[in-house]
Amino acid sequence: MNIPVRLRRLRRTAPMRALFSENQVTVRNLVQPYFVVSGKGIRKEVREGMGLWHVSPDMLREEVGMLSKAGVGGVMLFGVPDTKRDDGKELASQMASLQAAIGEAKSAVPEMPLFADVCLCAFTTHGHCGLVEGNEIVNDKSVKVLAEMSVLLSKWGVDFVCPSDMMDGRIAAIRSALDENGQTNTSILSYAIKMASAFYGPFREAAHSAPSFGDRRSYQMPADNRREARRELLADLDEGADALLIKPAMSNLDLIRDSREATDAPLFAYQVSGEYAMMRAAGNAGLIDFERALAESLMSIRRAGADVIVSYAARDWARR
């Protein structure tokens, strides 16, 4: 047959396919999340096999050592405090374990890029990402508290503060608070495009952060809106974000691509807890090959244009 273009010719052998591989996923591009709890000797999966780890500061030290040897790109910390408060006035003491964890991680491997979440949902009784007055999640007062939280995390040693609250104007406020406190070397990774998503379920179980009333739709983005996503991205860039994050990753591959084309700034995508859990559960049910599905999903996120992927799979990947 006369077939002028035969694409199968370059797919014939594994070395041939490797030679023409356009995208790669390496552990260098992955960041592993951890949920920091108080105590000693704790390293426990929230649900077995689901990849969300509660760790105490001393165990985080071991984890960071292991990940660093394997070449994992970074570690992201979420605090799970012992006590909740709604006024944001005791954050320093609520974050005591987080402070200890940052100290352990930084003394174990000083050069390992360390990220910390900035948000109030795990620290308040109502589980919303900002301060609440009546039934409203108030913006400007929340921004002040988030900026204070960022300064604390920065002084304790993180390389990146990562606001995931979705209040307006927080990137600018955090940047000036950091600078005023001499923290000019601390970067901001902004959760710029964050959907009000059903895929955060396992995370909320791990962080004890499900909202006790209402939902997050008055601050997180609706999945309907592509142009609004671009506005979120560009606003955070204008306000001084060093890097931008899109999440969930797998249901927003188009927005990762849009973002890649809209800016040259570093882009992160978060393969969130529910996305990871779906693949795990389907794998456990014998419906799909988990390892292959995972590799394929990470590749698609890279192909869409993400430089770095935050994923619960980083740790498994490193241990293979």
- Rank residues 78 and 109 by Cβ distance to ligand PBG and give the closer one: 78
Choose the catalytic residue: 44, 69, 89, 247: 247
Q: Work out how close the CB of 317 gets to ligand PBG at its nearest, in angstroms, rounded to a whole number.
A: 16
Q: Work out how close the CB of 169 gets to ligand PBG at its nearest, in angstroms, rounded to a whole number.
A: 17
User: SS3 sequence, 32-45?
Assistant: EEEEECCCCCCEEE
Site string for ligand PBG, 20-59 (x = CB under 6 A): ----------------------------------------
| Token output for 238 | 């204008």
Q: Work out how close the CB of 294 gets to ligand PBG at its nearest, in angstroms, rounded to a whole number.
A: 15
Q: What are phi and psi of 223, to 5 degrees?
A: -65, -15
- Pick one of 147, 233, 272, 308: the residue that binds ligand PBG (CB under 6 A): 272
Angle, alpha carbons 123-157-259 (nearest 5°): 75
Residue partners of 53: CB distance under 8 A and separation at least 6: 34, 35, 43, 44, 45, 46, 63, 315
Q: Work out how close the CB of 272 gets to ligand PBG at its nearest, in angstroms, rounded to a whole number.
A: 4
Q: Which of residues 157-176 bind ligand PBG (CB under 6 A)?
A: 164
Full DSSP string of 95-153: THHHHHHHHHHHHH-TTS-EEEEE-STTTSSS--SS-EETTEE-SHHHHHHHHHHHHHH
Measured between alpha carbons, how far is 281 from 4 in angstroms, rounded to an integer? 44
Kindly tell me the burial class for residue 68, based on how many C-beta atoms sit within 10 Å of its own C-beta (0-12, 13-18, 19 or more).
middle
Q: Which of residues 100-119 bind ligand PBG (CB under 6 A)?
A: 117, 119
Measured between alpha carbons, how far is 206 from 229 in angstroms, rounded to an integer? 27
- Rank residues 34 and 203 by Cβ distance to ligand PBG and give the closer one: 203
- Pick one of 129, 193, 237, 241: the residue that binds ligand PBG (CB under 6 A): 129
Q: Work out how close the CB of 270 gets to ligand PBG at its nearest, in angstroms, rounded to a whole number.
A: 6
Q: Work out how close the CB of 143 gets to ligand PBG at its nearest, in angstroms, rounded to a whole number.
A: 15
84 is catalytic: no
Measured between alpha carbons, how far is 167 from 139 in angstroms, rounded to an integer? 6
144 is catalytic: no
Residue partners of 137: CB distance under 8 A and separation at least 6: 128, 129, 130, 131, 218, 219
- Pick one of 101, 109, 118, 121: the residue that binds ligand PBG (CB under 6 A): 121
Site string for ligand PBG, 191-220 (x = CB under 6 A): ---------x--xx----x-----------
Place of tokens 């010719």: 9
- Rank residues 58 and 144 by Cβ distance to ligand PBG and give the closer one: 144
**What number of chain residues touch ligand PBG (CB under 6 A)?**
11
- Residue 98: count of CB within 10 angstroms of its CB: 27
- Pick one of 97, 99, 186, 273: the residue that binds ligand PBG (CB under 6 A): 273
Confirm or reject binding of residue 145 to ligand PBG (CB under 6 A).
no
CA 283 to chain centroid? 23
Active-site residues: which are they? 194, 247
In the complex, the residues that contact ligand PBG under the rule CB under 6 A are 117, 119, 121, 129, 164, 200, 203-204, 209, 272-273
